Amino acid sequence: MSEQVQADDPEPAGEAVRIAGQCVLITPKGTFRVRDTVEADDVICLMMEMLSDPVDEPLVAMSRQQVAVKLGRGIPADFPQGGDVVTGDPRQGGTRGWWESTVQRYLDPDRATPDGEEDDTPADAETDADTATPTPGYPTLIDPNAWPAKSRQWDDVDFSGADHRVLLVTAKGIVTPSGLVKSAPLSSPGRVGEIVCRRQWSTPPGGADPQLWMFPEALEAIGFPLVGQTKDGLPAYISEFFGCKVKYNLAGWYSCEFDGAVYGGQTRTADLVMLPYLGLDPSSSRPKDRGVAGIQGTATEYPDDPDEAAHVLGDRIAWLNSIEGAVPASRWSQVGAHLAKAKMDKARPKPKNTEGKPPALKPCPLPAQISSTGKLPDPWWGSEGVEILTDDEGVRQGVRVKKPPHRSRDKMIDVEMDQQAAYLPSAGIYLGYGEPFFIPDPDPAEFDKPQPHFGMHLLTTPPGRELDLNPKLPLPHPQMKWDEQATWWANTTDIRQMTAPVEGGGAGIACPELQIEMSYVWPEQHQWLSGFVKELRSLRIEAELAGRLDYQQMIKAIYTSFLGRLEAVGDGAWKYPLLHLQQPAWYGAMQSETRFRSMRYATRIGREHGIYPVGWWVDAWFYRVPADFDLKLLEEPCNDKGTLDNGKYRIKNTFDPSTPAKSKPKK
């Protein structure tokens, strides 16, 4: 009998692995369940094998709170209430989540306006560039290339809550941060009042007022004279020109109240942000910073071309709004306070020494027994061996080593080492709260505990020369003295540094040796700013990876300005409703944490490489090394992800000591 070759039997129907019935498609237009059919199987397999990649990370949905922030208001009735995903049992209070695309679809201006919600534009207002006509008595300078209403001038900025809180007033039209043209260019000063009073803004209760960013070309088009204005005269002129009451002004921001009886709609206050005058009243610590308009004279300064400038500002405003619904302000400290408050409100401190609920967080200027000014002296050593370089306006441009190069030696270079984002990790420490109180003759054993009380302590330190400290480095604390005892108010972080080993950046004083006459302590402590720190740390990493220098500079401005203002007392202190942010002891502890980390670095470099700084200024160290020296030895190692942690030292600048500095030494 001849051998027969038979083909394999086909797989019995119904036993094939079926996948379509378990699949859903998540798209920008919605979420769809794939039908459980053989044809769908084929399409899904094709997509999996040829048109898609595996997702290695969990999908991220937005919480209800995040949606509200994105919308810039409470969740409206016509928003999809069920959510796109639900964790837990939906019948027993499951937690809803929404895709980002769902929020974007809702914010899309092309969707139908729901019943009961009026359009942004008043019925009698210009809604197209072609209908914009000048008001009699005002110049006819309407741009012939004006943007059509409802057109999208840029599409790389998502719709967001910022669109309902901020408008960019350009010569070509009034546009939202996302690029949507809401109406024609201004035809008269009175049009500003109509927009403010009649538009349906979504400013949250207690939040910042609506903002209109006034471009110079738009101002000129309605006859506003840009030249010849003075800082003192501008408020009165703006009040008269726009028919409003200027209630407050700072750095080109004018808080203006418009009367609804005059313009229709509601009486409302709005910020007119006059772009030509952002340089007025600059911050003394950031004199060239113009907020989201960038830093003057740098690559982040907003472009000269008004169309590009509108796009750049819209992008930055929308990005800022993605951070807990923040909007720009005349000072970065206000933006930082908004973010800090949003994170602190979510904190759940667990008191250890107080029964019942945690004590209230209240303002804590230091008492007269500790400081006659209510705040602490500068905890830094000051500049040593370096000169601060400034430009013609006195703005700091850099720091250079004073020591001249030695002619007979080989070629040398000066290296400036600086901590990356130094204050971000320092702000995450435990901070005191509750009603502080004095303790006479405290027990030094308190500082043997893993977490001693947060407080201030009247400490006497021995002469530095008795402590085996390295004379090539500064004393661990600037209040200490080399040749005699010193008595000063130290915070708990300072005490930790005093008792740390010398090779670890400390003073090497044993706890039983501590001479503490009195302490002023807070009953409780909590990492109040940990949420603030984590948010900005994450954003900083994203900005660096994306190459967004402007975002990085804004992040730095937010935390440095906010943290620095914690120590302010008197006229510069936080006012209601932010009184609880008057915390000079908090800021002093952060500075001490940063300085302690700085000393640990300098002692390690000296111990491992025999190299000591020729100068220092705040937390920056300046080293003079041979030109062929491996500079990587001065940098701290990266983490497992290949990035440098905040607070770690990296090379900031290198200089040729034989080359004259381009800027002037500070007088």
* In the predicted structure, residue 116 carries a pLDDT above the cut 50: no
Average pLDDT over the chain reads 87
Residue 16 pLDDT greater than 70, yes or no = no
Please say whether the beta carbons of 384 and 474 come within 8 A.
Answer: yes
My answer on whether 568 and 632 are in the same domain is yes
Q: Decide if 56 is inside a domain.
A: no
Residues 257-298 pLDDT 10s = 999 999 999 999 999 999 999 999 999 889 999 999 999 999
CA 413 to chain CA mean position, Å: 35
Alpha-carbon gap, residue 181 to 127, rounded angstroms: 9
Check whether 627 has a pLDDT greater than 70: yes
Q: How confident is the model at residue 382 (pLDDT cuts 50, 70, 90)?
A: confident
315 shares a domain with 216: yes
| 111 — pLDDT class (breaks 50, 70, 90) | low
Strand 396-401 with 620-626, pairing: unpaired
Residues 564 and 598 in one domain: yes
Same domain, 233 and 298: yes
**In this predicted structure, what is the pLDDT of residue 4?**
35
Q: Are 422 and 448 found together in one domain?
A: no
In this predicted model, which residue has the larger pLDDT, 585 or 10?
A: 585
Give mean pLDDT, residues 236-246.
98
Query: E strand or H helix at 518, and its extent?
Result: strand 515-521
Bigger pLDDT: 666 vs 10: 666
Among 521, 549, 565, give the residue marking a domain's end.
521
Tokens of 347: 């904190």
pLDDT at 82: 75
Q: Is the preceding peptide bond at 471 cis, omega within 30 degrees of 0?
A: no
Record the tokens describing residue 343, joined without a space.
């994170």
Spatial separation of the C-alpha atoms in residues 398 and 400, rounded to whole Å: 7
The CB density around residue 79, as the number of other CB atoms within 10 Å, is: 15
* Axis crossing angle, helix 332-344 with helix 549-565, rounded to the nearest 10: 80
* Per-residue pLDDT reduced to its tens digit, 439-453: 999 999 999 999 999
The four Cα atoms 491, 494, 500, 506 give a dihedral, to 10 degrees, of: -170
pLDDT at 46: 78
From 521, 556, 578, the end of a domain falls on 521
Question: What is the per-residue pLDDT across 137-185, written as a single tens digit (0 to 9) for each?
Answer: 555 455 678 999 999 999 999 999 999 999 999 999 999 999 999 999 9
Residue 603 lies in a domain: yes
Higher pLDDT, 53 or 117: 53
338, part of any domain: no
Q: What is the pLDDT of residue 596?
A: 98
- CB-based contact 522:455 (threshold 8 Å): yes
What's the confidence (pLDDT) of residue 74? 63
3-state secondary structure of 12: coil
Q: Find the mean pLDDT for residues 405-420.
A: 85
Could you tell me the end-to-end alpha-carbon distance of the chain, in angstroms, rounded to an integer?
112
219 and 187 inside one domain: yes
Question: Is residue 351 a part of any domain in this protein?
Answer: no
The encoded tokens of residue 137 equal 């008595």
202 and 317 fall within a common domain: yes
pLDDT digits (tens, 9 = 90+) for 630-642: 999 999 999 988 8
Q: Do 316 and 185 fall into the same domain?
A: yes
Identify the residue with better confidence: 226 or 26: 226
User: What are the pLDDT digits (tens) for 184-236?
Assistant: 999 999 999 999 999 999 877 667 899 999 999 999 999 999 999 999 999 99
Tell me which of 491, 521, 551 is where a domain ends. 521
Q: Considering the chain, what percentage of its residues have pLDDT values greater than 70?
A: 86
Q: Is the pLDDT of residue 55 over 90?
A: no
Kindly report which listed range (204-218, 239-253, 474-488) carries the lowest average pLDDT score. Answer: 204-218
Report residue 665's pLDDT band, with 50, 70 and 90 as the boundaries: low
- Residues 409 and 471 grouped into a single domain: no
pLDDT at 123 over 70: no
- Statement to judge: residues 195 and 318 lie in one domain: yes
Q: Is residue 5 part of a domain?
A: no
| Predicted pLDDT of residue 494 | 98
Between 108-112, 534-538, 630-634, the lowest mean confidence (pLDDT) is in 108-112
Task: Look up the domain containing 77 and give its range.
Answer: 64-107
Separation of CA 200 from chain center: 28
Q: Report the number of distinct structural domains present in the chain.
A: 5
Q: Tell me which residue of 363, 529, 355, 349 sits closest to 436, measured CA to CA.
A: 363
Say yes or no: 460 and 570 in one domain. no
Lowest mean pLDDT among 70-84, 110-124, 374-388, 617-631: 110-124
Give me the pLDDT at residue 423, please.
96
Domain membership of residue 15 (yes or no) is no
* Mean pLDDT (whole number) for 402-423: 87
Q: How far is CA 429 from CA 137, 437, 452, 540, in A?
A: 61, 21, 13, 19
Once rounded to an integer, what is the mean pLDDT over residues 368-388?
A: 90
Task: Identify whether 7 is part of a domain.
Answer: no
Query: Which pTM was predicted?
Result: 0.81
Asked, for residue 464, whether it belongs to a domain, the answer is yes
Q: Are residues 495 and 588 in the same domain?
A: no
Q: Mean pLDDT, to the nearest integer, of 314-341?
A: 96
